[in-house]
Amino acid sequence: MTNLLKQAEERLEKMQAEINPRWYPRYHLAARAGWMNDPNGLVWFDGWYHAFYQHHPYSTKWGPMHWGHARSQDLVHWEHLPVALAPEGPEDKEGCFSGSAVVDGDTLALIYTGHKFHGPADTDDNLYQVQCLATSRDGIHFERQGMVIDTPPGLHHFRDPKVWREGNAWYMVVGARVDNTGQVRLYRSSDLRDWHDEGILAEAEPGMGYMWECPDFFTLHGKRVLMFSPQGMAAEGYEKRNLFQSGYLLGEWQPGEAFVHNGQFIEMDSGHDFYAPQSFLSPDGRRIVMGWLAMWESPMPEQQDGWAGMLSLPRELSLDDNNRLLMKPAAEVTALRGSYFPVPAHCLTNQRLLVTADADAVELCLEWDRIASPAEQFGIVMGNGLRIYVDNQSQRLVLERSGPDCALTGTRSIALAEGDSLSLRIFIDRSSVEVFVNDGEACLSSRIYPQPGQRDIMLFANSGTAALKEAGYWSLDR
């Protein structure tokens, strides 16, 4: 272990002992202490799922990026491992930025962005981002191989490589910025070390962002999906309300050909907090994705408790008959379930009904009968900080959080599709909520920070009647 990695471990050990656990997740993956953002290097290797992540082990704020590391055999019970990468070389002296991981024979390879300045760090003119390689035989200790792709001439923002194998070649997509236009660039290699520039895979049309971060390119049911996180898109009505978004373009591509897509960028998650998703394949061939459950320039009250940031639940991707991306909890999430508590089917009229008291780790399943629910609003409420409800006047499903003490008050919502029923799977952890709608048709994820005594969950119906077909919840634990 290098000196910088040893220092990071020593600092984490000290900080971990001082964490206030009131909002620290019970079953989501978070750093032991310090700062966490983008998931990196999600991969199955040698009998384990590995999750790396952007990490600053010295404080609860963003700083010189390291790669934190955890592993799991079931995607929900995670074991923390030593910090994998620290910014200790000339190619990454200001940070080991985001990237990916692939299995090359008996070797686990990390491909990441080295972040550095040639001169003062107060201007992008001195910024250079290059792509680097590190390898491991045991999946824990990594040997740095140095830079494999230099910054292209005229570029400064050039980051977040995602690598995959197709046929006899490795391919890499990298996010880039040219003036105020986002791009995804494509590269090809036979050995992960020597890379050939294949040109621009996709480029932002007007209004689609000045920088495309964290690109991911994969095949799903015969279609090609370009998933990325654009910066600089303007809000439009109910859509794109967050500072930055995460979404996808759907199209066709074959090696050596152009990526032909429909030009329709679709957000993947409609909540307050979901960014930089990365996908990987499970051993049985499912496409799984995890994202950062936070948002840039949004208050993070947990920073006062010694930690910041967490990852979403693992989510399985599929396409429906209309080629719309569906995202539902991976099957492994059911391993978290403890006791089940049914809530007898109810018809509520201008009332509230207690479901469970003092909940900090639950999965709630509700199926509403929309035909028999003419109430103006109906849904669930948790204390005074969270409401998830149908607004029948606007025909939208609304997630409303209220945390005036930490400046986190606001709503996100989706249009309700036609149908007689509305099915919701709602995962509540100590400081997060993830809502999955109609078996993956939509998702809303947000951070919440309940105060003491504000975790009781109740059903409600306002200004009319609402009917449930089924209702119940599981207690969850890691």
> CA nearest 29: which of 247, 336, 314?
314
CA distances from residue 293 to 9, 42, 147, 312 in whole angstroms, order as listed: 24, 16, 30, 5
Neighbour-count burial for 430-462, b at 16+ CB within 10 Å, e otherwise: bbbbbbbbbebbbbbbbbbbbeeebbbbbbbbb
What single-letter DSSP state applies at residue 10?
H
Q: How do beta strands 223-231 and 66-72 pair?
A: unpaired
Please give the DSSP secondary-structure letter assigned to residue 234.
Answer: P
- Round to whole Å and give the CA distance between 83 and 92: 16
Exactly one of 38, 160, 269, 273 is catalytic; name it: 38
Q: Which token pair is 398?
A: 């609304």
- The CA distance from 128 to 161, in Å, is 15
CA dihedral of 13, 17, 23, 26, whole degrees rounded to 10: 70
Residues in the chain: 478
Mark whether 150 is an active-site residue. Answer: no
Q: What are phi and psi of 332, to 5 degrees?
A: -60, -20
Asked whether 44 and 280 are in contact (CB, 8 A), the reply is yes
Give the residue numbers annotated as catalytic, written as ranges.
38
